Structure 1
Amino acid sequence: MRKQIVTGMILLILLILPLLLYLQINQNFQVSVNNARESADHEETLLARLLSSEILRNRSTSNMEIRNTVQSIGKQYGYEQMQILFYKDRIPLNGVLSEETAFLLDKKERTSYLSDPEEALYIVHPLDEHYTLITRSDFSVFYQMLREQTAAGIRICIGGLVIAAVLSLLISGRITRRLRILSRSADAVRSGSAIHLEPSAKKDEIGKLTNTFIAMNDAIVQREENLREDARQRQALIDALAHEMRTPLTSIVSAARLIQKGGDMVQMREEMCDLIVKESQRLAEMDENLMKLTRMHTAELKTETFSLLEMAQEALAVTPDAVLTGEDSTVTADRDLIIHLMRNLVNNAAKSGTLTPVRVTLHPRGFSVSDEGRGMTPEEVSRCTEAFWKADPARTRASGGAGLGLTLCQNIARLHGTDLVIRSTPGKGTTVEFTLPLQSVEDSET
């Protein structure tokens, strides 16, 4: 790009500057020549009148007398830049034309001729059928001026080319330097390295390109960070899933082997079959919850406006021991997901070791689920929504959980543009609150 800019600038100077200088020099030359031509024309007119009055009135004047008269008039009026040539019947009486200008004697009318080789102006004036006056004015000074101006123009063109080349190198270097920085930054992004590019305060195209490139790089970095986090969470989920599946699968395999070796022990067979059924149900529940978690990332809310009280009554129909309080209100959300959310929270609270019924309290934009169970520490509260995380793995397994309930609930809440609020005190119980945001779900997702 830098070579193109320099070449373009030089070509532009070569096209414009010589043309402008040529036009200017030629105009100056033409103006000077025209002024001198007018002056020579005026002088020749005066000479023609004098010669006509002195010579033509006396036809018997000899050629010698005519020559003397012409020379006398030339000296008297003193035109230093003008040479007088006088012919009688094509015979020179005073001065001789050169071979290049001899054709002027054939002119029948007054005319002027500018001879470039001789750098002189000839004015041919036939006084009558015998006498012809020719004046030769020296224009060498104008041609000399033309040559000097042409030489000066060439020097100006050369200087202009040098200046244009230097300026174009400086300007293109300044422009391409920023582009080279962007190019190196692009290479760094391609190789995965960090870039060190400062935002540009300039409002030109390269400044805008720089800021756009920085924004693009930030987006790429954020996307890579999100992908790494997703990969980390996915690996953690796989590791936890493998760990969780090991226990029920081990129990099922051990029970099956005991049945094979148990002989006629009917009671043991029944216990082992119950264990197999229980662990199989646990695996099925784990699979169902995992499928829900997987689909939750691409789920689209099917929002509708409904009564919070009617929704809660339907959700708690499978857990009649739960206590429902609070006032009814109308909300807009995905009704099926909110039912699933409430049921999971109630089931999770019921497994907390509470000795009192689980309480569900309605409020204008949501609800809360409370228990008086064993509770959680602040560290446990911060991690309880992680997939497969359990404060007490042995106790949770005994209660049949897999550590996915609160993860599902948190994902449902985030789909609605909010988060679960969990307050817990060890030994006193836990309260989980779900509140829909003030704005509509469509605005939240947008």
Structure 2
Amino acid sequence: MKFAQKLSCTIILLVAASFSVGGFLLVWGNFNDSLDEAEAQAERWHLMQCYAMESEVLTRMAQGTEITDENMRSYMESLPAYESESLATMNFIRLMTDESEVYSAFTSDTWADWFPLRGGDTAYELRQADDRCYLLLQNQVNTPVKTYYMQSVNDVTSVFDARDQQLWRLWQMEAVTLVLCAGAAVVLSNRLTKPLKTLSEASTRIAQGEYDVRTELDTGDEVGLVSRNFDAMAEAVQKNVDELALSVRQREDFMGAFSHELKTPMTAIIGYADTLRSMQVSPEQQRMAAGYIFSEAKRVESLSRKLLMLMGLSEQKAELEPVPLEQIFRAVYVALAPVSSRIKLCFQKSPGVVVLADKDLLTDLVYNLMHNALKAEPKDQRIYALWRQEKNRICVTVADKGRGIPADQLGRITEPFYMVDKSRARRQGGSGMGLALCSEIARLHGTTLTFESKEGKGTSVSFWLELQTSEGADGK
């Protein structure tokens, strides 16, 4: 059974139970009130007959008339015709002594069998016979002559009939109410559970791989809160899945690039070595083959060294110490000068600027960034190493006005072996490991590389370092 159906049934059952209990209590209260009123009326009439009889006895005695059963019978025969018209219920009376019946207006022999009643001088009791209800009353009337017993039967069937009629109307009203309530409960339940249906459908679609599905419910209650939490969970799942897919793609790219980077020099080495092994060549050809073997072996050595360095950086922690920035710039200039004859290296002066860094790693970081800028073939034949200060930090930026990097590839350029232009990079001796090493070095210094690039206009790479002292660092 669906939740909406369960909710509808629950609402209907609660309404039915509440209506039934409340209606029954109301009818039962009205019935008890009516029955009490009927009993009080019957009792007043009965007592009135008793008092009238006692008065009659006293009057006869005062007149000197003898009190006999025959006199009492004559008196009693005059009462029903005189009193019955004023009563709402049917009343029947009988007068008894201990020995015999003096007078009886009972119309049924069954009524006579119900007496005498137990309960002392005054007693009453409810009885049912022939689908009718009767109230029995009995009083002891003491006279100087003898003791009489006044007995009456009062028909109170109308009170019970009124109760049954009220109950019947109650059931009719309850049936109509339940039908209307059932329709309202179904509509209300479907409306209340519609957000849950949306959540269920969204979870099913996410389970099937549609991780971009969102519920976006704004109900203003707990369901809305569940919706927001569900969407946040879906967002986290999608992010993790995307990261996992990216990780798989990066691993595949890494393995493909690594295999390719090894295959190219190994093919050359094997080919030239096989030539030297199996063929008779001239000394000049031997030197050429040996030169190729040497250069390709050095390329493999360089690749292996960079891989080991990248693995080592991911496991070690840098020991940061005060290092003059001017010293870093000078070491990079000296290292790049032999390969940058046509490109001017422009370093911003930094007297007195001391940063917290690992000197060798920071030198490699700036060197690699500027070496990459050299390969970008800047239009103005210049590469810039700049810095600016903000409070107790400085931002170091390496910029060029070269080819630039496509916007869709900026997010992957720090992956190992990733190259924007593979053919040009390999011709320039690149392996795609430089920026990966730079990213790891930046991480060890508690910072990250920030790239800004436009195709045809150039690239800038920035990172932040902590200052040891800011004396003389005016940024000019």
Report the alpha carbon displacement of residue 112 of structure 1 after superposing the two structures with TM. Answer: 1.7
Superposed counterparts of 1:306-385, under 5 Å: 306-309=322-325, 312=328, 316=332, 319=335, 321=337, 325-331=349-355, 338-348=362-372, 360-364=385-389, 365-369=394-398, 376-378=402-404, 385=413
1:88 aligns with 2:100: no
Which deviates more, 298-307 or 115-124? Answer: 298-307
8 A Cα contact 1:188 1:195, kept in partner:
no
Superposed counterparts of 1:78-227, under 5 Å: 78=84, 79-80=86-87, 81=89, 82-89=91-98, 90-96=100-106, 98-99=109-110, 102-105=113-116, 107=118, 108-117=120-129, 118-128=132-142, 130-193=147-210, 199-227=216-244
Measure the CA separation in 1 of the matches of 2:431 and 2:448.
26
1:435 aligns with 2:463: yes
Measure the CA separation in 2 of the matches of 1:8 and 1:124.
53
Matched to 2:403, the amino acid is T
8 A Cα contact 1:305 1:330, kept in partner:
no
Are residues 200 and 337 of structure 1, via their aligned partners in 2, closer, same or farther at CA, if it must alter by over 3 Å? farther
Match of 1:250 in 2: 267
Matched to 1:319, the amino acid is A
Measure the CA separation in 1 of the matches of 2:172 and 2:360.
88
Matched to 2:96, the amino acid is Y
Report the alpha carbon displacement of residue 186 of structure 1 after superposing the two structures with TM. Answer: 2.2
8 A Cα contact 2:439 2:448, kept in partner:
no
8 A Cα contact 1:346 1:358, kept in partner:
yes
Matched to 2:92, the amino acid is Q
Matched to 2:76, the amino acid is V
TM-score (norm 2): 0.74
Report the alpha carbon displacement of residue 344 of structure 1 after superposing the two structures with TM. Answer: 1.6
Measure the CA separation in 2 of the matches of 1:291 and 1:343.
19
Report the alpha carbon displacement of residue 423 of structure 1 after superposing the two structures with TM. Answer: 8.5
Report the alpha carbon displacement of residue 145 of structure 1 after superposing the two structures with TM. Answer: 0.8
8 A Cα contact 1:29 1:142, kept in partner:
yes
Matched to 2:94, the amino acid is L
Are residues 55 and 74 of structure 1, via their aligned partners in 2, closer, same or farther at CA, if it must alter by over 3 Å? farther
Matched to 2:81, the amino acid is K
Which deviates more, 127-136 or 139-148? Answer: 127-136
SS at match of 2:185: helix
Are residues 17 and 293 of structure 1, via their aligned partners in 2, closer, same or farther at CA, if it must alter by over 3 Å? farther
Measure the CA separation in 1 of the matches of 2:455 and 2:199.
52
What do the CA deviations read for 1:270-294 (whole angstroms, capped 9, x no partner)?
5534433332232233244456667
Measure the CA separation in 1 of the matches of 2:357 and 2:240.
29
**Residue 24 of structure 1 is aligned with which of 3, 23, 26?**
26
Report the alpha carbon displacement of residue 420 of structure 1 after superposing the two structures with TM. Answer: 3.5
Match of 2:473 in 1: none
Between the aligned residues of both structures, percent identity stands at 20
What do the CA deviations read for 1:214-266 (whole angstroms, capped 9, x no partner)?
34334444444444444444444444444433321222112211221355856
Match of 2:7 in 1: 5
Are residues 275 and 214 of structure 1, via their aligned partners in 2, closer, same or farther at CA, if it must alter by over 3 Å? same
Report the alpha carbon displacement of residue 307 of structure 1 after superposing the two structures with TM. Answer: 3.7
Report the alpha carbon displacement of residue 125 of structure 1 after superposing the two structures with TM. Answer: 0.5
Are residues 45 and 151 of structure 1, via their aligned partners in 2, closer, same or farther at CA, if it must alter by over 3 Å? same
Are residues 71 and 423 of structure 1, via their aligned partners in 2, closer, same or farther at CA, if it must alter by over 3 Å? closer
Matched to 1:104, the amino acid is F
8 A Cα contact 2:336 2:367, kept in partner:
no
Report the alpha carbon displacement of residue 132 of structure 1 after superposing the two structures with TM. Answer: 0.8
Match of 2:469 in 1: none
Matched to 2:173, the amino acid is I
Are residues 318 and 124 of structure 1, via their aligned partners in 2, closer, same or farther at CA, if it must alter by over 3 Å? farther
Matched to 1:327, the amino acid is P
Matched to 1:94, the amino acid is S
1:71 aligns with 2:77: yes
Which deviates more, 131-140 or 9-18? Answer: 9-18
Which deviates more, 78-87 or 263-272? Answer: 263-272
Are residues 416 and 101 of structure 1, via their aligned partners in 2, closer, same or farther at CA, if it must alter by over 3 Å? farther
Are residues 43 and 315 of structure 1, via their aligned partners in 2, closer, same or farther at CA, if it must alter by over 3 Å? farther
Measure the CA separation in 1 of the matches of 2:418 and 2:245.
20
8 A Cα contact 2:373 2:402, kept in partner:
no
**Structure 1: any 5+ residue segments left out of the alignment?**
439-446
**Structure 2: any 5+ residue segments left out of the alignment?**
338-344, 467-476
1:60 aligns with 2:82: no
**Residue 409 of structure 1 is aligned with which of 413, 438, 445?**
438
1:389 aligns with 2:415: no
Are residues 308 and 382 of structure 1, via their aligned partners in 2, closer, same or farther at CA, if it must alter by over 3 Å? farther
SS at match of 1:119: strand
Are residues 88 and 357 of structure 1, via their aligned partners in 2, closer, same or farther at CA, if it must alter by over 3 Å? closer
Measure the CA separation in 2 of the matches of 1:144 and 1:267.
133
Measure the CA separation in 2 of the matches of 1:413 and 1:423.
23
